[in-house]
């Protein structure tokens, strides 16, 4: 986590140095800044600057804050809440993209999670700063105050993508009202105790039978109703094969069609995989760039050694030395995970998909 700490007085700068030093000691990329009165700036210029002295901000606080919003994951203002509020106000977008903002008084009495408490991590940052300085953390988010499960925090902790932000708000409100919600995971549920607010369903069938709001960790739609909030793991490798010269447009159209038919979320895609003889295939290279996905190549020998039963082709084996490109490439890219989509062929393009296995964790700090 990249953290910027800014102070406005000499006392605040002393806390700034202390806090940044301890954060760096824990492995955080922390940098201190100070925006001081002109007379203090002049005094600073008369003495040799200490190695850990916060960097002096010569621009306006607004300019500094705008830059910090782009460069850092968390901002700690050592000063009045009003200063922080006015500084960050012009740059606010939403809780899913804004950085964590914490405010501390210069005597380290309190550390207030001001902005992006859950998704941005301000609650955790406030707790961290408190632990390092002795301040009292001030957390005001409703799920934390009431000790309820926070679906957005859980998603961030597990690297999951919310399918619908509005639905996520409904889920949070429903849980805060004291209700329980059916929960299903296509991935293994490991560490931590499942919160009592979630009614865990062992099977897809049991999950589908539930009515109302639901939460599912899944790479693809489960036909469980429009009120299902999906928490999407980015674990899917798409295996692709194609004849020489197939355009990016054709590849993209074929992929989108298969994702739609199989119910696999586009957000679940992690990489594209194929055989190494396609290293110069322009359509695949362009598709990878357009989708922002890495393109991985495997030799025929590597693909042949992937364990499992796959849809083979004598023609493909004669041409590239392996009976199946797309299915084996998908399996290889996913670490021999679970195949979600068997070989689909058409117009000189073959597509398959497999998901990497991960562990979904319910650590206590996910909701407390």
Residue 44's pLDDT is 52
Extract the tokens encoding 264: 């696999």
The closest of 131, 27, 122 to 75, measured between CA atoms, is: 122
The closest of 308, 251, 250, 307 to 274, measured between CA atoms, is: 251
Compute the distance between CA of residue 225 and CA of residue 237 in angstroms, rounded to an integer: 26
Positive or negative, the CA dihedral 316, 319, 321, 327 is: negative
Long-range pairs for 197-200: beta carbons < 8 A, 24 or more residues apart = 197/148, 197/149, 198/149
CATH code, 2-140: 3.40.50.11220
Q: For residue 134, what are the CA distances in angstroms to 18, 105, 248, 258, 291?
A: 12, 12, 57, 55, 46
Burial class (CB in 10 A: 0-12, 13-18, 19+), 136: exposed
Extract the tokens encoding 341: 């989509």
List the chain domain ranges: 2-140, 151-233, 236-355
The closest of 83, 74, 219, 206 to 159, measured between CA atoms, is: 219
Region for 192 from its dihedrals, namely left if φ exceeds 0, alpha if ψ lies in -120 to 50, beta otherwise: left
3-class SS of residue 311: coil
Evaluate whether 181 touches 197 at the Cβ level (below 8 Å).
yes
Evaluate whether 75 touches 48 at the Cβ level (below 8 Å).
no
Torsion of CA 238, 244, 248, 253, to 10 degrees: -60
Burial class (CB in 10 A: 0-12, 13-18, 19+), 97: exposed
Helix or strand run (H / E) with residue 319: helix 314-320
Extract the tokens encoding 368: 């407390």
Residue 156's pLDDT is 87
Residue 157's pLDDT is 87
Residue 208's pLDDT is 96
Region for 335 from its dihedrals, namely left if φ exceeds 0, alpha if ψ lies in -120 to 50, beta otherwise: left
pLDDT tens-digit series, residues 153-199: 899 889 999 999 899 989 989 998 989 999 999 999 987 889 999 99
User: What is the number of other CB atoms lying within 10 angstroms of the CB of residue 135?
Assistant: 22
What parts of the chain have a pLDDT lower than 70? 37-51, 145, 364-368
Helix or strand run (H / E) with residue 12: helix 10-25
3-class SS of residue 79: coil
Evaluate whether 99 touches 75 at the Cβ level (below 8 Å).
yes
Task: State how far Cα 269 lies from the chain centre.
Answer: 13
CATH topology of domain 236-355: Nucleotidyltransferase; domain 5 (3.30.420)
Task: State how far Cα 24 lies from the chain centre.
Answer: 23
Q: Where would I find the H helices in 89-222?
A: 122-133, 142-145, 151-157, 165-176, 204-209
Evaluate whether 174 touches 213 at the Cβ level (below 8 Å).
yes
Name the phi and psi angles at 282, rounded to 5.
Answer: -60, -40
pLDDT tens-digit series, residues 37-85: 654 445 555 454 565 789 999 999 999 999 999 999 999 999 999 999 9
CATH topology of domain 151-233: 3.40.1390
């Amino acid at each position: 986590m990249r953290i910027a700490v800014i102070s406005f007085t000499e006392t605040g700068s002393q806390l700034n140095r202390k806090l940044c030093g301890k954060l760096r000691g824990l492995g955080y990329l922390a940098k201190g800044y100070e925006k001081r009165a002109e007379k203090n700036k002049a005094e600073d210029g008369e003495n040799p600057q200490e190695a850990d002295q916060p960097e002096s901000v010569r621009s306006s606080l607004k300019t500094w804050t705008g830059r910090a919003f782009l460069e850092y994951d968390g901002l700690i203002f050592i000063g009045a809440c009003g200063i922080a509020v006015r500084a960050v106000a012009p740059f606010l977008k939403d809780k899913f993209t804004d950085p964590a903002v914490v405010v501390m008084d210069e005597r380290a009495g309190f550390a207030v999670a001001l902005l992006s408490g859950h998704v941005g991590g301000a609650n955790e940052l406030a707790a961290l700063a408190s632990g390092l300085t002795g301040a009292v953390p001030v957390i005001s988010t409703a799920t934390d105050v009431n000790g309820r499960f926070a679906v957005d925090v859980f998603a961030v902790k597990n690297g999951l993508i919310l399918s619908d932000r509005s639905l996520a708000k409904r889920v949070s409100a429903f849980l805060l009202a004291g209700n329980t919600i059916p929960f299903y995971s296509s991935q293994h549920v490991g560490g931590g105790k499942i919160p009592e607010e979630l009614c865990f369903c062992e099977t897809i069938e049991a999950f589908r039978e539930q009515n109302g709001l639901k939460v599912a960790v899944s790479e693809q739609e489960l036909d469980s109703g429009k009120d299902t909030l999906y928490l999407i793991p980015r674990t899917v490798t798409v295996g692709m094969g194609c004849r020489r010269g197939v355009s990016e447009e054709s590849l993209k159209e074929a992929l989108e069609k298969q994702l739609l038919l199989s119910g696999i979320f586009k957000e679940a895609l992690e990489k594209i995989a194929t055989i190494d003889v396609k290293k110069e295939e322009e359509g695949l290279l362009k598709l990878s760039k357009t989708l922002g996905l890495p393109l991985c190549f495997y030799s025929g020998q590597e693909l042949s050694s992937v364990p499992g039963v796959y849809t083979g082709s004598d023609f493909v084996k004669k041409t590239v030395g392996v009976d199946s490109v797309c299915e084996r490439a998908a399996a290889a890219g996913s670490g021999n995970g679970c195949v979600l989509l068997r070989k689909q062929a058409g117009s000189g393009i073959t597509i398959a998909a497999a998901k990497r296995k991960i562990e979904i964790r319910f650590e206590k700090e996910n909701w407390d």
